[in-house]
Structure 1
Amino acid sequence: MSEARSRLLATATRIFYAEGLHSVGVDRIVAEAKVTRATLYRHFPGKEDLVVAYLQGVSEMERAGVGNILAGHPPAAEALRAVAEWIAESIQSAHFRGCAFLNAAAEYPDPGHPVHQAVLTHREWFLRTVTELFARVGSSAPEPAGRHFVMLRDGAMASGCLTDPAEAGDTFRQGVDGILRHRLGSGASP
């Protein structure tokens, strides 16, 4: 990746996450990244291509975070709790502004739009990952358990913006423990 492309993505990532996608113009990104408009358009044919690249970068970071958790091959219930802990910590971080993907979906609601498609691709990966963990731990219904986990995560992300982030993170952790106890019964360690 060229230095200019890296600067554009880093700048866009910082500004898009902090201020939103539609509210940030190309001129501002170009100015803050210290590149020309021609350089931006050489790397990204349009602003929406930059938005998709931003979301793909966030997805790669989240995949790497989950990958780090799974790299040690913990038992599935421990892995689910570790993923929940990682998410709760992100909600409680200093500059938390919600889920980049939920924010993007709110700004690009058309399911056929490339930005919305990037959101769906990431969500499908995340749902598949947690569902596979529920299946590995022996859940009799891994698909509903995975969907429940994702819905709790979405709610915690929204709550972390609207209320006390510490409370939202703690409630999410408790919710995941509840899913494990309810769905897995004796198969989950307390």
Structure 2
Amino acid sequence: MTDAPSSPNRTSPARVRLLAVADELFYADGITATGIDRLIAAAQVTKATFYKQYGSKDALILEYVAGRDRHVREALTALLEARQDPAAVLSAVVDAVVADTARPDFRGDPFLNAAAEFASPVHPVRVAITEHRDWFTGFLEDRFRELGAPQPGAAADEFSLLRDGAVCGSYAGDAVAATSAFDRAARRLFAAPVAVG
């Protein structure tokens, strides 16, 4: 993948519009299914403007993934600042996942969806997704450590896997069943008594 061209005005209205359109279309219809011509038409820019702002679709894809990552990090950081109790933070994460799956435009997890489109684990998109998932698991591990979980890393891995199952199950099948199971299982993880000694 090529890097975005260097531009003195990286927040131009055209650039912002292109990213907003890409965010919507990549999530709704898939990354590879969304062609440059469709992006250009929906953003109401010229092809020259697209290439001036991003240089390639690959650069736009990476910015889309980075934007989704930034949104999650900011939301979880704000959640952490608003709540001191780690169980309350984890409970709020569960609530947010359940609420997210109930949106009419819900199409599954954007990171899992993107990973499915890029097979190579060394592809820049996959690398960005791995970094995002590692950060999220680390965030969970810190909360479980604060709770005194005997194996906070294992608890974080379980929570993350439960979340993945909930978002995939909600999109592909019965959202109520998937999120209800997630809610029950995830809350058992952080409500379980802490092992002593």
- Smaller-chain TM-score bracket: over 0.9
Given candidates 158, 170, 174, the residue that maps to 2:168 is 158
- Could you report, residue by residue, the CA deviation over 1:59-89 in whole angstroms, capped at 9, with x for unpaired residues? 1111122122111132111111111111111
Q: Is the 8 A contact 2:17 2:43 kept in 1?
A: yes
Shift in Å, 1:40: 1.2
Q: Is the 8 A contact 2:150 2:194 kept in 1?
A: no
Indicate whether 1:23 and 2:24 are aligned: no
- Aligned residues with identical type, % of pairs: 35
- Could you report, residue by residue, the CA deviation over 1:75-125 in whole angstroms, capped at 9, with x for unpaired residues? 111111111111111011111000000001000021111111111111011
Q: AA paired with 1:28?
A: R
Provide the residue aligned with 1:111 in structure 2: 121
Q: AA paired with 1:64?
A: E
Q: Is the 8 A contact 1:89 1:169 kept in 2?
A: no
Report which stretch shifted further, 98-107 or 60-69. 60-69
Shift in Å, 1:164: 2.1
Q: Is the 8 A contact 2:148 2:194 kept in 1?
A: no
**If the length of structure 1 is used for normalisation, what is the TM-score?**
0.93
Q: AA paired with 1:22?
A: T
Provide the residue aligned with 1:51 in structure 2: 61
Report which stretch shifted further, 113-122 or 39-48. 39-48
- Could you report, residue by residue, the CA deviation over 1:109-161 in whole angstroms, capped at 9, with x for unpaired residues? 21111111111111011011001110111111000000001100111111011
| CA RMSD after TM alignment | 1.3
Runs of 4+ in 1 over 4 A off after TM superposition: none
**If the length of structure 2 is used for normalisation, what is the TM-score?**
0.90
1:87-166 aligned within 5 A:
87-166=97-176
Indicate whether 1:33 and 2:39 are aligned: no
Distance across 2 between alignment mates of 1:44 and 1:127:
31
**Structure 1 unaligned residues grouped into runs of 5+:** none
Given candidates 172, 177, 180, the residue that maps to 2:187 is 177
Distance across 2 between alignment mates of 1:170 and 1:133:
22
Distance across 1 between alignment mates of 2:49 and 2:185:
46
